[in-house]
Structure 1
Amino acid sequence: MMRAARGERSFKGTCGLFTCLLVLACQPETPAPRLSAGEPETPAPQLSAGEPETPAPELPAGVPPSPQLPSTPQVPPTPQQEVPTGRSWYVSRTGSDGAAGTRQAPLRTIGRAVALARPGEVIRVLPGVYAETLLLESKGSGVAAVTLRGEGSPRPMLVPGNKTRSAVLRVQGRWNLENLQIDVGGARMFAVLFDSTASHCFLSGSELKGGTSGAGVLVEGARNITVQNNSIHHFIKPGTDAHGVAVVGPSRGLVIRNNDIHHNSGDSIQCQGNVAPVENVLIEGNTLHDEGENAVDLKGCRHVVMRDNTVYGFPNAAVRPVGSSAGEAVVIHQSASHILIQGNTISRAGRGVSLLHASPLSEDVRVADNHFQDIRNMPEGNGQAVRIESARRVWVEGNTIENTASYGLMLAADGSAVEGLVVRNNILRGGTRPFLLRLGPSSSRPGALLEDNHYAEGGVLKADGVLEQLTLSSPEKLEVWRKALGGDEGATLLE
């Protein structure tokens, strides 16, 4: 959807509900009981944002305090995958389901091994193509995980055995999935679905591709799920969204780490509240690129840390026609809160980080220590590294911004208010177009604080209703900016 914003066109970020996706996910299957009250849960401790907390000094009378730093999100601790301690069940395309399941006498189907395996045991799948659609049922509450592991080279490939089901692998209870290749083959199915009874599961070292449903991996109300070291690509739903990883509330305790997610028709990662918010998510060390819409879409999600990812190539017109989103690397909206976006490298996107105006507002967001470069005007009307339409308590600090098609920072300039905005210690270098910073009118940024920012000489600054396109041709011009704004103390010109 496109909307006007003070003479500049603005594309609304992806915000459709998962209606169709959830309809597919809820096709009739064998019902499973809810987790019992005794199922262990990993607590979500405070995660350090990299700065020690010190008591605030007392200020002289009459000096207003600085805005409070948004509270650090709660995310899961680093999960530790347990080592199987039980027996091994072997599966081979040359085996027999009547065999003993040993290396010398392997089973023929994964499904038979799944039925036989007990907590703490491992299913070792030898190379070959397995046309099976599996329900990985819970083996009991509070028990050790069962491991489903691909062995040998090339690793075994799973393809749908029953295309009327919602997923190639539907996970309940506690399972570890390792070193698998899942080729959905164009079916309207997820590769892996962790349903609401799944808990303390791992999906690692695998390749997932080729579906036409709403996602490659769907986490639907599950808890303590780790998705790491996977390649997830080419989930394309004609004309609409298909995400690499989709997380739907009330999921909690998610770790998405060190994956390569690309060439899907929606987002690399979509996090969306449903009947309840998604809570406690860590997105770390991934390479997210070349999607039809965005890299990370956060809506109705709380306590999310996205750090140290490499993000580029949005939107990808070869996957989906341009226009369904602004091609954001990160879009935050629909009451997402307690968000930390830190240490990411973001390039070749329509926007870097975007906070949209949507009720209820997002709040407590920190965008810190990221490197933005080559942010482009695609779709038209974009090109900002950080664009904040409306939110509460947002810090933008320590970022390096260079070569943006429009203003590197565009803050409270879309006709809505941004309350409690802090813009501090950013480096804005400009590029072929020298636009560095645009602020909306003072009425749209109550309580805003700017200080210690560093601007390229020759760059352009603008404050609506106060100062129109000031070119920083000298230190004296920077002083004009400070006086007109009544702030930005400590600002400097870059050589």
Structure 2
Amino acid sequence: MQLPPRVELPPEAQSPQEAPAPPEPTGKSWYVSPKGSDGGKGTLDSPLRTISRAVALASPGDAIRVLPGVYAEQLLLSSRGTSADAILLRGEGSPRPRLVPGDRTRSTLVHVQGRWRVENLELDVDGAPMIAIAFETGSSHAALADSELHGGTGGAGVLVEGGQDITLQNNTIHHFIRSGEDSHGVAVVGPSRNIILRDNDIHHNSGDSIQCQEGSAPADTVLIEDNKLHEEGENGVDIKRCRNITVRYNVLSDFPNTSVRAPGSSAGEAVVIHDAAQGVAIQGNTILRAGRGVSVVDTPAENLWVEANVIEDIRNFPEGNGQGIRIASAKNVVVADNRIVGTASYGLMLAADGQLVTGLTVRNNALQGGSQPLLLRLGRDSFHPGIILQENHYLHGGVLKADGVQDKLTGINAGYRVEFSGEQLPLSSPEKLDVWRQVLQVDQGSGLLQ
């Protein structure tokens, strides 16, 4: 079976409005070198010694060009006005210039509070309890690109809290680790809005690759696209109380990573949606080797699309997991066109946690089982009123389970009781799938995969 094609966002979902790439600076270039002096002119022949001095001197439209070396300082990239041109802070040459803490008691290595583009730097937090870079209230049309961030023991590598129109692209973010606690690769906190995370490699952190959470208001309109998210102590993408989030075309793998955090703090989910998140699209991702693939749990999330994902090798680790897609509590959910292979538990677990799922549509998914041929578990009727379950494709010999099916069989042809072993139905023939359809009145148009 081929990978599902990429699909377009449903019209109800939103993505950030992308501004055109900013032009190269037309203002003055300020050069910084470990061999320079802050009394210098800031030219290539007479560079400054510290980045902080260049930051103080730069005007909108200027460029700060940092030559290779190690710089021990903290930076405050302040606002020059909401309509001012961005200032470029770029590492020049190879290896990248390395910024390390000058004062390890500070909370953050780089504060961004205005329109700044930060490119081609190494932000080495060097074991300090600090965030590498924070896009704070006032940061707007700002970016971090082509950089490496690592080595912190604070709450995250990158914090976006109150920033708007922020882009994180083509960065490597790794080894932000707090013993027994969360340290996320990227934390997006409301009221941040219009945030793009694209082409980043985020791994080996003690929390999630990316967490989206509410602050003074929900974060709104976040695009997570074409990233590699892997080997985290907890989850890949954790979405809680955020709005209009799109997660598409990413590769997410190897959760949880017990080398960076002891097991037990999470289910090791590639994507988890909870705490009343709204308007979330999970599309076209490849998910490998996780405790769960996609989970929708806890306080009901609303208006969700889980479409065209490939989910493989979902493990029963931590114990009690192993589901490909688990919809426990939600409103208005579409689960469509997914391929789910090699799950330790059910490929699809739908409204089977004793909580209500309303407006659930499940169609055209291919379920191929794993070490146990468990394909789908459907909760009791009262937990999924009005479910639309149709045109799915089940592995021949796999097992479907319907909670409470014995109640349905009362007064029905006694032969159906024999077909269901307890509440499970092995699909040993097309006729068995006919029994499932006739008893449960679902899955019209579904068939078996050989």
TM-score (norm 2): 0.94
What is the CA–CA distance in structure 2 between the aligned matches of 1:298 and 1:231, rounded to whole Å?
21
Tell whether 2:432 aligns with 1:477: yes
The CA RMSD over aligned residues, in Å, is 1.1
Structure 1's consecutive aligned runs of 4 or more residues displaced over 3 angstroms after TM superposition are: none
User: 5 Å matches for 1:39-438?
Assistant: 50=8, 72-82=12-22, 83-358=24-299, 361-438=300-377
Q: In 2, distance between residues paired with 1:408 and 1:333?
A: 20
- Deviation of 1:140 (Å): 1.6
Shift of 1:164: 2.0
Paired residues of 1:72 and 1:340 also in contact (CA < 8 A)? no
* 1:292 and 1:314 in contact (8 A); partners too: yes
Q: Structure 1 residue 473: deviation in Å?
A: 0.4
The 3-state SS of whatever aligns with 1:261 is: strand
Task: Determine helix, strand or coil for the equivalent of 1:197.
Answer: coil
The equivalent of 2:416 in structure 1 is none
Deviations 1:321-340 (A, max 9, x none): 11101100001001101000
CA distance in 2 between counterparts of 1:163 and 1:315 reads 30
What is the alpha-carbon distance in structure 2 between the residues aligned to residue 97 and residue 427 of structure 1?
64
Contact 1:73 1:280 in 2 (8 A): no
Q: CA deviation at 1:372?
A: 0.3
Q: In structure 2, what is the Cα distance between the partners aligned to 1:407 and 1:474?
A: 20
Partner of 2:408: none
- Map Cα deviations across residues 407-451 of structure 1 (whole Å, 9 max, x no partner): 000010011111011110000011221000000000000110101
Quick check: 1:81–1:202 contact (8 Å CA) kept in 2?
Answer: no
8 Å CA contact retained: 1:219, 1:248: yes
Structure 2: which 5+ residue stretches go unaligned? 1-5, 406-419
Alpha-carbon distance between aligned partners in 1 of 2:12 and 2:311, rounded to the nearest angstrom: 23
Question: C-alpha offsets along residues 190-209 of structure 1, whole Å, 9 cap, x if unaligned?
Answer: 00011111111010000000
- Helix, strand or coil at the partner of 1:314: coil
- 5 Å-filtered alignment, 1:12-31, equals none
Whole-Å Cα distance in 1 between the matches of residues 241 and 166 of structure 2?
Answer: 19
CA contact (8 A) 2:7 2:284 kept: no
Unaligned runs of 5+ in 1: 1-47, 52-69
Contact in 1 for aligned 2:69/2:97 (Cα 8 Å): yes
Q: Retained in 1: the 8 A contact 2:7–2:308? A: no
Q: Give the letter for the 1:300 counterpart.
A: R
Question: Corresponding residue for 2:380?
Answer: 441
| Larger displacement relative to structure 2 (207-216 or 134-143) | 134-143
Provide the C-alpha distance between the structure 2 equivalents of 1:49 and 1:405, rounded to a whole number of angstroms: 28
1:145 is displaced (CA, Å) by 0.4
String of CA shifts for 1:10-48, please: whole Å, max 9, x gaps. xxxxxxxxxxxxxxxxxxxxxxxxxxxxxxxxxxxxxx9
Partner Cα distance (2:231, 2:19) in 1: 29
Distance (whole Å) between structure 2 residues aligned to residue 218 and residue 286 of structure 1: 17
Q: Per-residue displacement from partner, 1:204-243 (whole Å, max 9, x unpaired)?
A: 0000000000000000111110001000000001111000
Specify the SS of the correspondent of 2:54: helix
- In 1: Cα distance, 2:370 partner to 2:249 partner: 24
Look up the equivalent residue of 1:80 and give its one-letter code: P
2:157 aligned counterpart, secondary structure: strand
Equivalence for 2:449: 494
| AA at the equivalent of 1:326 | A
Q: Deviations over 1:371-418 (max 9, x none)?
A: 000000001000001011110011100000000000000010011111
Deviation at 1:141, TM superposition (A): 2.0
Distance 1:327 1:71 in 2: 31
Tell me the matched-pair count: 428
Cα pair 1:71 1:338 within 8 Å, conserved: no
- Provide the TM-score with structure 1 as the length reference: 0.85
Paired residues of 2:225 and 2:247 also in contact (CA < 8 A): yes
In the alignment, the residues of structure 1 paired with residue 139 and residue 84 of structure 2 have an alpha-carbon distance, to the nearest angstrom, of: 12
Specify the SS of the correspondent of 1:354.
strand
Residue 33 of structure 2 aligns with an amino acid whose one-letter code is S
For 1:474, the aligned partner's letter is S
Letter in 2 for 1:471: P
Contact in 1 for aligned 2:30/2:42 (Cα 8 Å): yes
**Residues 344-376 of structure 1: CA distance to partner in whole angstroms, max 9, x if unpaired?**
000100000001122xx2110010000000000
* Structure with bigger RCO (C-alpha 8 Å, 6+ apart): 1
What amino acid does structure 2 have at the position aligned with 1:159?
V
